[in-house]
């Protein structure tokens, strides 16, 4: 028995107790139990028990926390992940969380913890894990990078290059004059010298079947414009997390070879301050033809998304349309860290996303979008709609209600405000501080279930 004492970052005493109940197997399993045929050169760790194996959340935290500990303290080690449970879907989640917990924020890479399985796993099981982890790691690297080094053109080029490597993905890029009718996007980008760009990635392996659309907000850096941010500005490089998740979801699905049609699209721009930047009080004509009064330049994410969502609906015949955006800081106040807000015009879709998120530890909680209560809050005297409410109450819902104004009645749509889950300021059981890559695993699982 090896005592592990440096796990005090965990506040859950029950979990801490479980993690200290660890068997360290020396030399090889061959000597100990004859489970693995070839000798292993490194120490192998097994969680002997978790007080309640039926509590999946506790299981996930135990394996991820131990994996992070091993990665931080040993050059290389091995961890058995299916000794307590054998169900493939649960073991897959454990594997993903255990691997991602080893990610180093300073090195921007996974560290050497090898996962071992006592029970035989087929190639598709391992292929899916590899695809999702690869996508999340790429997303983390892109989001954690210096915002000064990132421009819309550079980002779409990098994303296009990555998508080419997996194959079977059709990529289209729109920049400059190609976006001349995208009024909301262009106004938001006025404060920057860099033109906005849009990337559309289509993976369509199934004939004669409508795709799922995934839209992402990509504000590369959000200073707030003339409504300048006074808080959290150092974290605004993560304001493109929704855009990155939308594209790398397509990447993961294509790499794993899922038989499901999906189109991911992301809009990239910067919301900065200059003599040309858009201003409170501006009236803007959107791609849809509807006009928007700007009440606050720091409510820019919903503006660029409105144009993108309209483009999606005009261009593709979709089964579902889902958007991801770090839309409101108020969602973090409402739900706390780790839990995104989901809302939309289809109760079944919102609840499906909530249930999947709970199952795989990418949690989200369903909020209402009641027209009779919230629509009036966005009334404008000068335009079809205003981008904020005069009062701050229910801000995440108000953001969702604004987007709903640009959704056609026949479209099943969900909006996920990922602000609480897109990044973490401190180390947690899931891993070190920085971007989380939230949304990729959630939407992958949603798409996978739709393909079955």
Per residue, the 3-state secondary structure of the chain, as one string, reads CCCCCCCCCCCCHHHHHHHCCEEEECCCHHHHCCCCCCCCCCCEEEECCCCCCCCHHHHHHHHHHHHHHHHHHCCCEEEECCCCCCCHHHHHHHHHHHHHCCCECCCCECCCEEEECCCCCCHHHHHHHHHHHHHHHHHHHHHHCCHHHCCHHHHHHHHHHHHHHHCCCEEEEEEHHHHCCCHHHHHHHHHCCCCCEEEEEEECCCCCCCCEEEEEEEEEEECCCCCCCCCCHHHHHHHHHHHHHHHHHHHHHHHHCCCCCEEEEEEEEEECCCCCCCCCCCEEECCCCCEEECCCCCCCHHHHHHHHHHHHHHHCCCCEEEEEECCCCHHHHHHCCCCEEEEECCHHHHHHHHHHHHHHCCCEEECCCCHHHHHHHHCCCCCCEECCCCCCCCHHHHHHHHHHCCCCCCCCEEEEECHHHHEECCCECCECCEECCCCHHHHHHHHHHHHC
According to the model, what pLDDT value does residue 261 have? 98
Same domain, 113 and 149: no
Give me the catalytic one of 229, 290, 375, 412.
Answer: 229
Same domain, 272 and 380: yes
According to the model, what pLDDT value does residue 41 have? 55
Low-confidence ranges of the chain (pLDDT < 50): 1-6, 8-9, 26-40
Q: Is residue 131 part of a domain?
A: no
49 catalytic? Reply is no
Residue count (the chain) = 452
302 catalytic? Reply is yes
Same domain, 333 and 207: yes
Domain with 29, as residue range(s), is: 13-121
Which residues fall within 8 angstroms of residue 251, CB to CB, at 6 or more apart? 131, 134, 135, 138, 162, 163, 166, 169, 201
According to the model, what pLDDT value does residue 159 have? 98
Same domain, 339 and 434: yes
Count CA atoms closer than 13 A to 280's CA, side-chain side: 12
Number of independent structural domains in the chain: 2
Same domain, 196 and 315: yes
Each residue's pLDDT tens digit, 166-205? 989 999 999 999 999 999 999 999 999 999 999 999 999 9
CB–CB of 365/332 below 8 Å?
no
Same domain, 418 and 303: yes
- The residues pairing with 22 across neighbouring beta strands, listed in sequence order, are 47
Same domain, 289 and 211: yes
Residue ending a domain, choose from 90, 121, 152: 121
How many CB atoms sit inside 10 A of residue 337's CB?
13
Q: Is residue 24 part of a domain?
A: yes
Which residues fall within 8 angstroms of residue 196, CB to CB, at 6 or more apart? 152, 175, 179, 182, 185, 186, 188, 189, 267, 268, 269, 304
Helix axes 241-256, 152-166, angle to 10 degrees: 10
Q: Is residue 128 part of a domain?
A: no
Q: Cα(5)–Cα(400) distance, rounded to whole angstroms?
A: 45
Q: Cα(160)–Cα(48) distance, rounded to whole angstroms?
A: 45
Give me the catalytic one of 138, 237, 302, 441.
Answer: 302
Same domain, 116 and 145: no
Same domain, 28 and 159: no
Same domain, 186 and 299: yes
According to the model, what pLDDT value does residue 19 have? 60
Q: Cα(200)–Cα(406) distance, rounded to whole angstroms?
A: 19
Same domain, 117 and 169: no
Q: Is residue 17 part of a domain?
A: yes
* Residue 301's CATH number: 3.40.630.10
């Amino acid at each position: 028995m090896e005592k592990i004492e440096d796990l005090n970052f965990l506040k859950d005493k029950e979990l801490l107790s479980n993690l200290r109940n660890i068997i360290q197997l020396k030399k090889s399993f061959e000597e100990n139990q004859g489970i693995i045929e070839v000798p292993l050169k490194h120490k192998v760790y097994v969680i002997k028990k978790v007080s309640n194996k039926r509590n999946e959340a506790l299981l996930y935290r135990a394996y991820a926390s131990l994996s992070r500990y091993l990665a931080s303290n040993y050059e290389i080690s091995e961890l058995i992940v299916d000794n307590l449970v054998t169900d493939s879907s649960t073991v897959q989640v454990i594997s993903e969380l255990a691997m991602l917990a080893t990610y180093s924020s300073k090195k921007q890479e996974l560290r050497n913890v090898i996962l071992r399985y006592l029970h035989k796993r087929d190639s598709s099981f391992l292929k899916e894990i590899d695809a999702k982890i690869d996508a999340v790691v790429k997303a983390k690297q892109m989001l954690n990078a210096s915002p000064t080094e990132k421009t819309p053109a550079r980002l779409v080029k990098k994303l296009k290059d990555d998508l080419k490597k997996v194959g079977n993905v059709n990529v289209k890029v729109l920049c400059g004059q190609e976006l001349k009718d995208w009024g909301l996007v262009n106004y938001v980008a006025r404060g920057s010298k860099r033109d906005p760009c849009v990337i559309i990635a289509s993976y369509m392996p199934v004939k004669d079947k409508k795709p799922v659309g995934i839209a992402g907000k990509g504000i590369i850096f959000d200073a707030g414009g003339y409504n300048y941010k006074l808080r959290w500005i150092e974290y605004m490089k993560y304001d493109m997390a929704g855009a990155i998740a939308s594209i790398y979801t397509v990447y993961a699905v294509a790499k794993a070879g899922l038989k499901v049609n999906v189109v991911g699209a992301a809009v990239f721009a910067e919301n900065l301050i200059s003599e040309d930047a858009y201003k409170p009080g501006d009236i803007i004509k959107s791609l849809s033809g509807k006009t928007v009064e700007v009440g606050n330049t720091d409510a820019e994410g919903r503006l660029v998304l409105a144009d993108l969502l309209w483009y999606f609906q005009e261009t593709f015949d979709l089964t579902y349309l889902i958007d991801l955006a770090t839309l409101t800081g108020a969602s973090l106040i409402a739900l706390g860290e780790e839990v995104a807000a989901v809302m939309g015009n289809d109760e079944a879709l919102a609840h499906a996303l909530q249930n999947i998120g709970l199952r795989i530890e990418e949690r989200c909680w369903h909020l209402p979008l009641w027209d009779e209560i919230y629509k009036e809050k966005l009334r404008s005297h000068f335009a079809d709609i205003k981008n904020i409410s005069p009062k701050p109450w229910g801000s995440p819902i108000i953001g969702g209600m604004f987007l709903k104004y640009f959704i056609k009645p026949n479209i099943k749509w969900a909006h996920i405000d990922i602000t609480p889950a897109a990044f973490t300021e401190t180390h947690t059981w899931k891993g070190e501080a920085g971007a989380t890559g939230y949304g990729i695993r959630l939407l992958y699982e949603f798409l996978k279930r739709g393909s079955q």
